[in-house]
């Protein structure tokens, strides 16, 4: 993080750690305080989902509840902007290619795991049943698309738990369903939990491979490393618009429908 912001005299970077949450810990994240004008500053928070526990975790091992609780409840963020490596399914026309950066419009789920803050002693008959049509906030996706000069109606799917890639037959089924982008459970659980926290969630995807993948995770990582800088620039562009200008998330955004209050506002904090 110091490499990204340490040279900016208007920025101060601070490493923070939440030792424990109701969902485990520790959670490591960063606060970047940037001076807007003399005497006035704003905070932007950064978290690496794979390294937030202090050791590298694979997609199916991620501690979504712990780090999302930290962002939503302990930090109190206004919105979340995520990035994710994905595979692109080949289409003769209108498809995506390796190296493309995309703000998908719709989300699908083939895993079906219960990504939720609900647990024994922190439950309710109604509070956790929430609409999922707009897991990706259309307003934030529009800002992200504009920051990458792309206009996307792509369907992105939470496809396999990993760490393996999809089989050819699995990709054929996704293609018949109209899916364009496939990934492991990284961003999708975050989007669901953000909905429980009543916070808009935006996502930028980098196409690291064509699906079904025909090479190793190392090759995928190399492609993703090349996309890291432009993806970060796009994320920061939207973050700055939301924090330093009059750009605001609209109160009538579809992603807010029947998700106006967080489960924590309804039930309090889990013990």
65 and 170 in one domain? no
End position of a domain, from candidates 77, 95, 119: 77
Stretch 139-153: mean pLDDT, rounded? 87
95 and 28 in one domain? no
Q: Would you place residue 3 in the very low, low, confident or very high pLDDT band (cuts 50, 70, 90)?
A: low
pLDDT score, position 214: 86
End position of a domain, from candidates 77, 111, 132: 77
Where is pLDDT greater, at 95 or 57?
Answer: 57
Number of domains in the chain: 2
Residue 88's φ and ψ, nearest 5 degrees, are -110, 130
124 and 243 in one domain? yes
**Environment class of residue 134 by beta-carbon count within 10 Å: exposed (0-12), middle (13-18) or buried (19+)?**
buried
Which residue range is the domain that position 32 belongs to?
A: 1-77
Report whether 236 contacts 114 (CB < 8 A): no
pTM passes above 0.75: yes
Percentage of the chain lying above the pLDDT 70 cut: 97
170 and 249 in one domain? yes
Q: Which two tokens stand for residue 257?
A: 């429908």
119 and 59 in one domain? no
102 and 56 in one domain? no
End position of a domain, from candidates 77, 101, 136: 77
């Amino acid at each position: 993080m110091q490499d990204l912001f340490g040279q900016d005299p208007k920025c101060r970077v601070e490493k923070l750690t939440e030792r424990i949450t109701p969902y485990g810990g520790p959670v490591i994240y960063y606060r970047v305080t940037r001076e807007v004008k003399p005497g006035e500053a704003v905070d932007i928070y950064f978290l690496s989902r794979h390294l937030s526990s202090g050791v590298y975790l694979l997609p199916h091992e991620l501690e979504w509840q712990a780090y999302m609780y930290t962002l939503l409840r302990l930090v109190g963020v206004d919105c979340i902007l995520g990035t994710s490596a994905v595979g692109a399914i080949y289409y003769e026309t209108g498809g995506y290619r390796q190296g493309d950066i995309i703000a998908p419009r719709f989300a699908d789920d083939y895993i079906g795991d219960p990504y939720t803050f609900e647990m024994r002693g922190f439950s309710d008959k109604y509070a956790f049943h929430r609409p999922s049509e707009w897991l990706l906030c259309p307003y934030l996706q529009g800002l992200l698309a504009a920051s990458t000069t792309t206009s996307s109606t792509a369907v992105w799917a939470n496809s396999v738990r990993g760490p393996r890639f999809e089989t050819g037959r699995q990709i054929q089924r996704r293609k018949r369903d109209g899916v364009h982008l496939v990934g492991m459970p990284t961003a999708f659980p975050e989007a669901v939990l953000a909905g429980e926290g009543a916070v808009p969630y935006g996502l930028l995807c980098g196409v690291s491979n064509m699906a079904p993948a025909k090479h190793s995770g190392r090759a995928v990582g190399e492609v993703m490393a090349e996309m890291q800088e432009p993806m970060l620039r796009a994320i920061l562009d939207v973050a700055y618009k939301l924090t330093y200008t009059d750009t605001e998330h609209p109160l009538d955004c579809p992603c807010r429908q029947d998700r106006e209050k967080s489960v924590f506002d309804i039930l309090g904090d889990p013990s």
